[in-house]
Amino acid sequence: MLTSNLFRSIYCMALCTMLAVSLLAQTVPDSRGREFYFTFPPNFHENNNRDSLFIFIAAAQPTTGNIAYRNSSGTRINRVFTISDVSKVYSFAVSYRNIELGSAFNNTGSNQNGKVAPQSFHVTADQDIAVYALSYSNRTSDAMMVLPTDVLGTEYMVLAYNSDGLDKEPTPSQLAVVAPEDNTDVVITPSTRVLNGSMAPISIRLNSGDSYLLQADVSQAAPYNDLTGSTISTTKPVAVFAGHQRTVVPVRSSALISRDYLLEQLPPVQAWGRRHILTPFPLPAGIPATENDLYRVLAAHDNTAVAVNGTQLVVLRAGEIYEAPLRTAAVVEANMEVLVAQYKRSSSQQSTDLRISDPFMLVVPPVRQYLSSYLCINAQNYDGGKVYQQQYLTIICPASFVHTVTLDGQAVDPNRFLPVPTSCYSYAIIPVQDGVHKVEAATEIGIYIYGYGQADSYGYVGGMAFRKHLGEGGNIAFTMAPSFVHASPGDTIALDIHASSLEWQDMAAVSFSMELAYKFSWMTYAGTFTRGNVLDDTWSIEVQETEGDAPGTKKTTIVASGSTPVAQDGTIATIRMLLFMNTDTVYTPSLSASVNGDINCVKTTAASLHIGLSQCVINLSPIHYSGSGYGLGQVANASASTGVLRLRYSVGIEAETRIELFNSLGERISTLVDTVKPPGAYEQEADVSQYGAGAYFIRMVSGPYSHTLPIVLGSR
């Protein structure tokens, strides 16, 4: 009996609950860590004494740590922190003056564009922590998730936003680099002309804690220069930050006037992906839909084809972007690695009516970098009251797992989730309170965090994994190969079903369902199978052969399940088939497969096996099994008075042979013969004394032969 789909779904979900989190925690680096280096690119300030830089720290277990930072003179300041109550966030604030990098554009600090600067932060802790940073200026702020040093890289491509140069106070697209280690050589190749420079590559050497700011040139001749597409190559891992000092989104909008700071820490190219989920931002009350939020897709390689909801829209060169309005949830897929970000639009049309929300930038993690557990923070600041009056979480989850999502230990109502088109995902926008939040599910999910204030906002991703394999996770390729070089008709051959994936550990594969379809004139299931070498003793396999979907075909379904997730490429199962041949010269049986009941968006591919007569070295003549080689002798008016039924039958090729007795309702009531028989004619007796007189059926199955006859048992 095959395991039901419902049972497999429940089984998989229970196992994923227990296994996925522990697997990820043990083997996959993520956005939590024990050491962080970062800096703050320039915000736009108007001599507000309350403008500050904030650091928010959350921990899953009590810890102590240190926040060290340097000012523009290189003076180092230390602040020891302790987190005893993990339900609360540790918050640290310092004035931006001489701590934030200095801008050439309307900033009270010195101009540090194109110069090595000492300003940076270095956060360490005894246990893993999550770190978020917020740059606050009056109605001009944004925040970022800070990445630990163990996930930093040496190759980056910049995603920022266009300079805003037509206003009386022009502001630039910008980037910054921080080095955790001494003697780090950095080469920046700008995609546009930089301030006081050109587009020529820039080579610098940074020591531990050094920062380097680069801003785009802004002029009437080139008001919208954008550092997006710039490349950064280093000899040692670095932290890279990008965004904008203050801009309108969309930058060329004629209807909107409110501007805001954009800030994100960028992941290295090795952490990019090929599939991303976009979700719309909630529209605050009173905001007219005159302009749209935006998203951008940045290509790392030439000939990158980008599709949205299954429709290819553009082919990009390395460093090029695709930008479009963000109106509804969507799936962005590419044939090579891309970086994706969402941008909240400006909210206000006039300075006398400043609306809720404003621009922020949020880097969207690829699906393959989702986690199953998050410890995240909805940031808050006070400037004559709460700055961020509306706080949100967006949760992205496979539709079959929405009932497993919890927020701060409480189940999230599955009815809050809406479908993401052309995908197996759903998303929910959840209003929340300030502070630490814990989000968990029985599979990998995505989390976006953001908040709205009056003409102000912030946003960042709640966390992400850093799986460094290129290619998309959640894909398993199945292949089928024979274990023979030469074979003859009538041989028993072994077909190895092999499964491989780039990223087993983030899938927690605990069940497989595989279906082999074939013509019974070519082959048939020999009744034996073997558990594959990548499955341990916790795995069981059930196999069943049934009639195929087309006349003259059969199929064998193999269901494997276990409590130890597969973690390597290898053979899932070996199934033995009896090989026959008709007058065809070649035949291709087909293999299809699914993983975990296909309930958590795992994609599978399968290859077919090509078998030809050329592989046979002897006995190339076809074997016709419908002739005298097989037979079930007629048994008419058999008497039950003796309780013995005499069976006469013949077998053409050595195979497992079954003879079964059925009642008049078609119910199998007895198996009279069940053994492997070599070719030959047989006669034997079977005990039927327990059955009453009446009409019955007897069926023989041997290799490709199957035949059913009616019989009558007389009265005693």
Using a pLDDT cut of 90, give the percent of the chain over it: 48
**473-615 belongs to which CATH class?**
mainly beta
Spans of all domains in the chain:
30-461, 473-615, 631-714
Domains 473-615 and 631-714 share a fold: yes
pTM above 0.75, yes or no: no
Q: Sign of the C-alpha dihedral, residues 310, 311, 317, 321?
A: negative
CA 457 to chain CA centroid, Å, is 28
Where is mean pLDDT largest: 226-240, 398-412, 569-583? 226-240
pLDDT at 428 over 70: yes
The mean pLDDT value for 682-696 works out to 86
The Cβ of residue 628 has, within 10 Å, a number of other Cβ atoms equal to 9
Q: Model confidence over 133-172: pLDDT tens digits? A: 999 998 888 999 999 999 999 999 999 999 988 666 789 9
**pLDDT (tens digit per residue) in 544-597:** 988 888 777 889 999 999 888 887 889 999 888 877 765 556 778 889 888 877
Q: What's the CATH fold of domain 631-714?
A: Immunoglobulin-like (2.60.40)
Q: What is the structure's pLDDT at 605?
A: 81
C-alpha to C-alpha distance for 229 and 237, rounded to whole angstroms: 19
Q: How far from 368 is each of 28, 66, 146, 274, 405, CA to CA, in Å?
A: 12, 32, 19, 8, 18
**DSSP 3-state assignment of 14?**
helix
How far does CA 475 lie from the centroid of its chain? 9
Between 57 and 510, residue with greater pLDDT: 57
Backbone angles phi and psi of 118, in degrees to 5: -85, -15
Tell which residue, 109, 248, 51, has the closest CA to residue 167: 248
The dihedral sign for the CA sequence 617, 619, 620, 622 = negative
For the chain, the C-alpha Rg in angstroms (whole number) is 33
pLDDT score recorded for residue 666: 85
